[in-house]
Amino acid sequence: MKKPGKIVIISSPSGGGKTSICRKLLSPTRKKLGWQFSVSYTTRAMRTGEKNGREYHFVTDDDFKKMVKADLFAEHFKVHLYKYGTPRTPLEKVLKSGGVMLLDVDVQGAKKIKKKYPEAITIFVMPPSVKELRKRLRQRGTETKKQLKVRFNNAAAEMLLFDKFEYAVINKELNTAVAEVLSIINCHHCRTDKMTAEQKKKIRV
């Protein structure tokens, strides 16, 4: 019998490094084993180096509203100045067919998805300090001063919510953080609170 798939929610404040970690996790070998990345929909503009359908599906505000009305999202929320939504169908397919679905979502999105999919693994990634966070956001150079201020204020507040997640990883060095996230995903089923009723029955005298 095929094992059910895993939904892995990787969240962080802007500049925390969740997107970089997801990219590192999706090696060719893991893709062959059914690892996937959930590509969200967004109303924000495409940034330099991004490709439609790879980082995000970029849509107009009107198209996004139509998708919400059709109930196509597992969750959707306005983050900073734009709207983001996680498509429902890919999540359902992974749960049925096996594999691992990585979700790169903000704190609000993580809460909503966890409510709908209680079995999902929640991991919070954060920078070593607020000072480092500010530095990373400035170095990206993708926002205006107004947008940067909004992102930093929201990100600083989100860092305080780390204990709402099952796991927390400090992203000081990317490869180390990737290794820690991978260990969490591989070993999550070993937690005693994740044991099935059948497994518990076998160990009782």
Per-residue model confidence as pLDDT tens digits over 95-149:
998 899 999 988 888 999 999 999 999 999 988 877 777 787 777 666 677 777 8
Q: Domain map of the chain by residue range?
A: 6-38+99-203
C-alpha 2/C-alpha 149 separation (Å) is: 47
What does CATH list as the number for 6-38+99-203? 3.40.50.300
DSSP line for 42-104 = E-SPPPTT--BTTTEEE--HHHHHHHHHTT-EEEEEEETTEEEEEESHHHHHHHHH-SEEEEE
Are 39 and 105 within 8 A, CB to CB?
A: no
Instruction: Report the candidate in 11, 13, 10, 9 with the shortest Cα–Cα distance to residue 136.
Output: 13
**3-class SS of residue 122:** strand
**Global confidence as pTM:** 0.82
pLDDT tens-digit series, residues 45-75: 998 889 999 989 999 999 999 999 999 999 9
Q: What phi and psi, each to the nearest 5 degrees, are found at residue 63? A: -65, -40
